[in-house]
Amino acid sequence: YFYMNELNRAEAKARILKEVEEKLHRSFGITFDDATPMQLYKAVALTVRDEVMERWTHGREERAEQKLKRLYYLSVEFLPGKMLVNHLLNLVEFDLYQEALSEVGVNLMELEAEEPEPGLGNGGLGRLASCFMESLATLQLPAMGCSIRYEYGLFRQQIVDGQQVEAPDNWLEDGFIWEVPDYDDEMEIHFGGHIIEDWSEGYLKVRHEDYNTVLALPYDVPVSGYDSDIALSMRLWSARSPRRINMEQFSRGDYIKASEEKELAEAISKVLYPDDNHLEGKELRLKQHYFFTSATIQYAVKDFKRRFPELPITRLADKIAIHINDTHPALAILELMRVLLDQEGLPWETAIAVCSKVFAYTNHTIMNEALETWSEDLFKVLLPRLYSIVQAINQDFCESLWKHYPGQFDRIAKMAIVSYGQIHMANLAVAMSHAVNGVSKLHTRILKQDLFADFYRIYPGRFHAITNGISYRRWSLKANPGLAHLITEAIGPGWLRDAAELEKLRPMAEDGAFLEKAAAIKKENKVRLAHYVEKTQGIVLNPDSIYDVQAKRLHEYKRQLLNALHILYLYQQIKANPEADFTPRTFLFAAKAAPGYYRAKLIISFICQVAELVHNDPDVKGRLKVVFLPNYNVSLAEVLIPAAEVSEQISTAGKEASGTSNMKFMLNGAITLGTLDGANVEMLDAVGEENIIIFGMTPEEVQQAYRFNSYRQGELYEENLALRRVLDMMVDGSLTPANPHRFSELYQALLFSDNGGMADPYFVLKDFDAYAAAQKKVEALYGRPKVWQKKSVLNIAASGVFSSDKTIREYNRKVWHLSPVESEE
């Protein structure tokens, strides 16, 4: 479509409109003029789906024909975002569709509003999984993403009276046109019951009896890649009861019981757990994990046998790789063991060897409260066969540890898979995988030196540092078309295939005309966001103010509170000297808090009250604005990130494993204001210290302060007057005069240790001065627009290293060893 002449273009557009019209007739029995926006969206999407389907079929056939090894990417979460426009961009047909539709008065971007967004994830981990799928499709690597078809995704967040209120996300309500159920691949999942060890044939046969069955029905959603000949599948398993409620039961009076059982079975895929970086050992959650991992393993083995009837099952690792996205799918390891032992009859050692060749694992967090463990009691009742397998693996493993660490009981207990009544999923994943990955250089170093240090000493070759990346086409071409066109105009379209070509923009940082165009695009994006905010919140923004954005899950370690306290500090400066010069600033927050995370919700309220305070004070004269944007999701990120000038990446050093929004902001020309944490460190390397603003404690300093218990919060309060004034505002009734104690919990948590926990464990107070000084630099720099714009362009130019294409190539070279699907055309 790139090189199409005018005549062909006209024909192509006419054909698109004809196809849309046909879909309206055939699928909805309606004409163009009578169609609702939803019907119109669906009709357009169906025509696009036809094309994606062709690539889907083609990819399947070629993969089978070429007998290629396939990756199963298991993740309890995916956050793919809206699909229609993304497919069109990947098919390189967006402009054509947009023009065709506009000729009949339809705005494609307005149609997109009708598309539901699948919110099947909490945050970074789920979005990363979707970025990886897009890159796998682009590189034509055979892969399938596997997860759960949650009927309700992550809750919709409303802010009512300055507080988070959760509403259900019924995303399937109006139907989801991109999914296709595959009834041939329905699997049976067995829960509960007991196992019988049968030695009657002279060898051990294990039978599982009296179990409850739940059916897993897969729904496949196509994933396209940029200018790719194939589409991959995201396979989402949905739970169904095997019980068909029949009239006989009805008349016998068993109807109620049968329908209860049905509800119970189908509850498994009902709702996504809204906890990010936090574990609650709930039975239903364990059921979810087993449900989708068992279904996937059974399918993977079935598919292997169907495609390679000539190969023995011991060759499995030649034809499949399984990647587990954090430990949540680690039950897949035990499930494959079960299948290899009980169904394929492999001897124990052979099964272990096959398994460890198949599996690889990525760790995404070192936050202690997120490390997954399950109580043995719960585990053995729900998954009796997997329990006996994990016991045996643990025994073997601990015996082998004894050889490395003889007599070191404490160390072995720490590394054990089963200990003190708990099953430690991270230890299982490390012990049974051939590759263990961190998500940034710093994070991997922490894994090696800290969390998995005892493992690293025994298996140094197993550990890899493969830094996260982003689907940079979605975050530029789709989210920021203005900038994408400017880049293509300057350096040609090659960067869309090879992000390293963004480096070619470097000289443009010296080109005044280019800088002005880039600045104009930023301004347009700021105006676009201002419209959105006015329409949805009724708040008027000043597009000439600095747009400073912190958008991510609400977590104490991410330190939204530091940002909010600094805003109070700025406010006090205005109050002290209302007539002094003050660079107008807009602070934007977007963050969902886990519904059960009381303190995170209190921080949201706090931010909302700070917003109220500054908006209602006439002395501020609109120079300071604070906006909390509700319901942060992929779609909101696509409006918010391109408008940002300052990217807040201010987590306590050592806590944010990588971060990925930091990369998206950088790609969109924001200047990062960040700590030496996660991938920020690599952003600093890529862009150079004069083009990023780094502040605060180093990860080593944080470590030291914990180790030597040397943090003196109280002294900071005593000695730092400015800080003390800000903190006192938390409790002196300035924010909520009717209820001055509203935020005293937050205040207390910063200053006083409570039952064993240290005060301010995330060093908000300690980093306050450094943060304020860094914000001062931001302001000074913004006062020199040319310098600012230059730095902005240098950030875009350096952001290519964070393409997930690069990340996937590295995973493939070091871990998966897949060959691309070759197209013969």
Where does this chain touch ligand 26M (CB under 6 A) — which range of 11-19, 478-486, 569-577, 658-666? 658-666
> Which CB sits closer to ligand 26M, 63 or 558?
558
Q: Binding of ligand 26M at residue 713 (CB under 6 A)?
A: no
> Which CB sits closer to ligand 26M, 472 or 569?
472
Write b or e for each residue in 710-730: b if 16 or more Cβ atoms lie within 10 A of its Cβ, otherwise e.
ebebeebbeeeeebeebbebb
Where does this chain touch ligand 26M (CB under 6 A) — which range of 143-151, 276-284, 373-381, 444-452? 276-284
The two tokens of residue 355 are 């398994």
Q: Determine how many CB atoms are found less than 10 A away from the CB of residue 31.
A: 10
Q: Binding of ligand 26M at residue 328 (CB under 6 A)?
A: yes
Positions annotated as catalytic residues are 364, 552-553, 558, 660, 664
> Which CB sits closer to ligand 26M, 124 or 481?
124
Q: Which is nearest to 673 in space by CA: 548, 589, 521?
A: 548
**Contact call for residues 133 and 80 (beta carbons, < 8 A):** yes
**Contact call for residues 354 and 163 (beta carbons, < 8 A):** no
**Contact call for residues 433 and 359 (beta carbons, < 8 A):** yes
Give whole-number Cα distances, 362 to 249, 462, 674, 816, in Å. Answer: 48, 11, 24, 13
CA distance 627 to 615: 10
> Which CB sits closer to ligand 26M, 288 or 609?
288
CB of 582 to ligand 26M, least distance (A): 34
Please select the residue that binds ligand 26M; options are 47, 269, 277, 647, rule is CB under 6 A.
277
Q: In sequence order, what are the residues at sequence separation of 6 or more whose Cβ sits closer than 8 angstroms to the Cβ of residue 134?
A: 223, 224, 225, 226, 471, 473, 474, 804
Q: Binding of ligand 26M at residue 775 (CB under 6 A)?
A: no
Q: CA torsion angle for 336, 342, 343, 345 (degrees, to 10)?
A: 100
> Which CB sits closer to ligand 26M, 116 or 123?
123
CA distance 299 to 410: 40
CB of 546 to ligand 26M, least distance (A): 26
Strand partners, 205: 198
Strand ranges (E), 372-516: 373-375, 418-419, 422-424, 435-438, 463-465
CB of 122 to ligand 26M, least distance (A): 5
Q: Binding of ligand 26M at residue 268 (CB under 6 A)?
A: no
Cα-based angle 625, 630, 635 (whole degrees, multiple of 5): 110
> Which CB sits closer to ligand 26M, 75 or 228?
75
Strand partners, 232: 223
Q: Binding of ligand 26M at residue 276 (CB under 6 A)?
A: yes
Please select the residue that binds ligand 26M; options are 159, 370, 519, 705, rule is CB under 6 A.
370
CB of 674 to ligand 26M, least distance (A): 13
Please select the residue that binds ligand 26M; options are 70, 364, 473, 664, rule is CB under 6 A.
364
For the CA atoms of the chain, what is the radius of gyration? Answer: 28
> Which CB sits closer to ligand 26M, 153 or 481?
153
Q: Contacts with ligand 26M in 169-188 (CB under 6 A)?
A: none
Q: Binding of ligand 26M at residue 563 (CB under 6 A)?
A: no
Please select the residue that binds ligand 26M; options are 273, 304, 711, 802, rule is CB under 6 A.
273
> Which CB sits closer to ligand 26M, 19 or 372?
372
> Which CB sits closer to ligand 26M, 44 or 79?
79
Place of tokens 């699928």: 27
Q: Binding of ligand 26M at residue 633 (CB under 6 A)?
A: no
CB of 346 to ligand 26M, least distance (A): 30
Q: Is 755 helix (H, G, I), strand (E, B) or coil?
A: coil
CB of 658 to ligand 26M, least distance (A): 4
Q: Binding of ligand 26M at residue 275 (CB under 6 A)?
A: yes
Q: Is 692 helix (H, G, I), strand (E, B) or coil?
A: coil
Q: Binding of ligand 26M at residue 660 (CB under 6 A)?
A: yes
Number of residues that bind ligand 26M (CB under 6 A): 26
Q: Binding of ligand 26M at residue 658 (CB under 6 A)?
A: yes
**Contact call for residues 373 and 416 (beta carbons, < 8 A):** no
CB of 365 to ligand 26M, least distance (A): 5
Site mask, ligand 26M, residues 454-473, x = CB under 6 A?
Answer: --------------x-----
Total residues found in the chain within this entry? 825
Residue 101, φ and ψ in degrees, nearest 5: -70, -35
- Nearest residue to the partner ligand 26M, using Cβ: 124
With helix as H, strand as E and coil as C, how does 553-603 read? CCCHHHCHHHHHHHHHHHHHHHHHCCCCCCCCEEEEEECCCCCCCHHHHHH
Q: Contacts with ligand 26M in 112-141 (CB under 6 A)?
A: 122-125, 128
Please select the residue that binds ligand 26M; options are 220, 656, 767, 805, rule is CB under 6 A.
656
Separation of CA 244 from chain center: 37
Please select the residue that binds ligand 26M; options are 140, 288, 365, 471, rule is CB under 6 A.
365
Where does this chain touch ligand 26M (CB under 6 A) — which range of 268-276, 398-406, 428-436, 610-618? 268-276
**Contact call for residues 679 and 690 (beta carbons, < 8 A):** no
Q: Please give the helix or strand (H or E) that residue 671 lies within, else none.
A: strand 671-674
> Which CB sits closer to ligand 26M, 68 or 129?
129
CB of 373 to ligand 26M, least distance (A): 10
Q: Is 364 helix (H, G, I), strand (E, B) or coil?
A: coil
Q: Contacts with ligand 26M in 663-682 (CB under 6 A)?
A: 678
Strand partners, 215: 188, 240
The two tokens of residue 447 are 């894994």
Please select the residue that binds ligand 26M; options are 285, 385, 517, 664, rule is CB under 6 A.
285
Q: Binding of ligand 26M at residue 363 (CB under 6 A)?
A: no
Q: What is the DSSP letter of 30?
A: -
**Contact call for residues 379 and 281 (beta carbons, < 8 A):** no
CB of 552 to ligand 26M, least distance (A): 9
Burial of 738 (0-12, 13-18, 19+ CB in 10 A): exposed
Q: Binding of ligand 26M at residue 73 (CB under 6 A)?
A: no
Q: Binding of ligand 26M at residue 439 (CB under 6 A)?
A: yes
CA distance 194 to 175: 40
Site mask, ligand 26M, residues 506-535, x = CB under 6 A?
Answer: ------------------------------
Contact set with ligand 26M (CB under 6 A): 122-125, 128, 273, 275-280, 285, 328, 364-365, 370, 372, 439, 468, 656-660, 678
